[in-house]
Amino acid sequence: EKIFHNVHDKMISCLPREIYNLLKTFGQFGDEVGLNVYVVGGFVRDLLMDNPSFDIDLVVERDGLKFAEHAAEKLKATLVKHDKFLTASLFFNGRRVDVATARIEYYEAPTELPQVEISTIRKDLYRRDFTINAMAIKLNHKDFGLLLDFFGGQEDIQNKKIRCLHTLSFIEDPTRILRAVRFEVRFDFTIEEETERLMREAIHQGYLEKVSGQRIRQEFEKIVQEIKAVKAIKRLAEFDAIKRTFPGTFYTATMEEKLRALFDFLPWAEKHFGQVDRFYSVMFVLLEYHNEQLLNEIKERYGLSLKFLQQLKLLKKMIIPLSQMIKLRMNFSDIYKVTHDISPEGFCYIASYLEPDDQEYLKQFLERVSTVKLTISGKDLIDKFGLKPSKKLGEILESIYCAKLDGLIDDSNELEYVKSLIESASSNSR
């Protein structure tokens, strides 16, 4: 494969018109301000893999901010600049386009200009993680569609390899360890032999522990969003990267089963609850056996919320009895009485202990809890039945709700049931 190679035909055949036109427009904006513009990274990779994505990352030589200001004006886009980093984001038509600057280093400028330009974008690409992510396509009119592949990205796509760009890659940025696994599993590629050796070396030497927890968490959050998240976590464990990232977590066959069950349940839960934080739901499984001290260290490192820790503490005690109750198909009301304070992520954790049939029962339960509503209120009990405001009132409402959950009553006979409850309560107290 050639370093320079025109992929215009591929862009025409693979990209939606809208995206193609947008790239043309960016090239034109570059011409108007006299700057070279490239689309880079994941966009180029996905295009070459015939699976186009629409996240556009641009690199502009010399002055990305000037380009971004011009583009923002022309597109009537909202511009957010990060002057310190010479980067900017454009927001328009519900889309976000990131612009970065590749700085020309003038001390090497004396030769012809094209040489300087090539070395500038080349350097930008050399700072990236893997060969498949280190390609660019030029967008300026004259060279529109010119692919720049200095490091063999096309060949690695063909051979399905994840390959880093230099031997210090994982030392420089250990989060690339997580990224390598994420891309390997997503694309069904293999981490190239030397790259794998460098990864293992960096992990073994403790580099994962040197990165800020926030950066590790960011990459781990991306892993749990992957379709094959469990496979990726398993692969990380094979690299010893799980126990390095979460001290005290030892990946076992049982843990894997729980993760599988969890990820089987998540799509349903996300629909049901509106959204579920996948990261926290996985944390339940990875941290369930941790003692207070280890847990606190991990909480500090990754900025885990207090609410999560409380849920974990609560569920540690309840998970076994609760999953037992579900397996025994106990009444919804019995389950309801002990699950008041459980978060959506907590329910997903419970699901990780359940077989498919039992997960179905849990779904029916949650479905029912969210659809059953009382027609009577506490105010009705006071106004219509002459009850006094008290704790008892809440208890009566809850027993009505529970009877409804179990299907003993429905809207039509709710009122009768209330009457009988109140009568028996008063006859008991007599």
For residue 81, give both structure tokens.
């600049």
CB of 352 to ligand ATP, least distance (A): 25
User: Does 248 sit near ligand ATP (CB under 6 A)?
Assistant: no
Residue 163 near ligand ATP by CB under 6 A: no
- Residue 81: its H or E element: strand 78-82
278 touches ligand ATP by CB under 6 A: no
Write the CA distances from 214 to 80, 210, 244, 349, 385, integer angstroms.
23, 12, 15, 23, 56
Q: Which is nearer to ligand ATP, 57 or 406 (CB)?
A: 57
> E strands of 85-180, at which residues?
87-92, 95-102, 136-138, 146-148, 161-162
Give least dist CB 22 to ligand ATP, A.
Answer: 17
CA distance 406 to 417: 14
Residue with smallest beta-carbon separation from ligand ATP: 42
Kindly state the tokens that stand for 290: 């941790």
- Find the binder of ligand ATP among 10, 42, 334, 421 (CB under 6 A): 42
Which token pair is 174? 């250990």
Which range binds ligand ATP by CB under 6 A, 22-30, 171-179, 266-274, 365-373?
Answer: 171-179
The torsion angle over the Cα atoms of residues 269, 272, 274 and 277, rounded to 10 degrees, is: -20
Q: With CB under 6 A as the contact rule, which of the stretches 88-96, 173-181, 190-198, 295-303 interacts with ligand ATP?
A: 173-181
Whichever of 125 and 376 has its CB closer to ligand ATP, that residue is 125
Helix runs in 127-163, H state only: 153-158
Q: Does 378 bind ligand ATP (CB under 6 A)?
A: no
In whole angstroms, what is the distance from residue 353 CA to residue 320 CA?
8
Least spacing, CB of residue 93 vs ligand ATP, in Å: 20
- The reply to whether 89 sits near ligand ATP by the rule CB under 6 A is no
Q: Return the number of the residue (147 or 403) whose C-beta is nearest ligand ATP.
A: 147
Burial of 96 (0-12, 13-18, 19+ CB in 10 A): middle
Among 30, 41, 64, 145, binds ligand ATP (CB under 6 A): 41
Q: How far is the CB of 170 from ligand ATP (least distance, A)?
A: 10
Q: Which residue, 62 or 176, has its beta carbon nearer to ligand ATP? A: 176
Tokens 């990875």 locate to: 286
The Cα 234–Cα 255 span in angstroms is 10
Q: How many of the other CB atoms lie within 10 Å of CB of 84?
A: 6
Question: By C-beta, is 1 or 55 nearer to ligand ATP?
Answer: 55
175 binds ligand ATP (CB under 6 A): yes
Smallest distance from the beta carbon of 175 to ligand ATP, in angstroms?
Answer: 5
What lies within 8 Å, CB to CB, of 215 at 6+ separation is 175
Q: Give least dist CB 228 to ligand ATP, A.
A: 13
Tokens of 310: 């409380």
For 220-226, the CB contacts below 8 A with 24+ separation are: 220/178, 220/245, 220/279, 221/278, 221/279, 222/178, 222/182, 223/178, 223/181, 223/182, 224/278, 224/279, 224/282, 225/278, 226/182, 226/185, 226/186
Residue given tokens 């070395």 in the structure block? 119
- Between residues 181 and 350, which has the closer beta carbon with respect to ligand ATP? 181
Q: Which of residues 93-132 bind ligand ATP (CB under 6 A)?
A: 128-129
Residue 425 corresponds to which tokens in the numbers above?
């309560």
Per CB under 6 A, does 270 bind ligand ATP? no
129 vs 358, beta carbon nearer ligand ATP: 129
Instruction: State the residue for tokens 């991306």.
Output: 222
Answer for which of 138, 176, 231, 244 binds ligand ATP (CB under 6 A) is: 176
Nearest approach in angstroms of CB 114 to ligand ATP is: 24
In the complex with ligand ATP, the residue whose CB is nearer, 53 or 370, is 53
Q: Which stretch binds ligand ATP (CB under 6 A): 53-61, 78-86, 280-288, 368-376?
A: 53-61
Nearest to 134 by CA among 164, 158, 160: 164
Nearer to ligand ATP, 16 or 389 (CB): 16
Per CB under 6 A, residues contacting ligand ATP are: 41-42, 53, 55, 57, 128-129, 133, 173, 175-176, 179
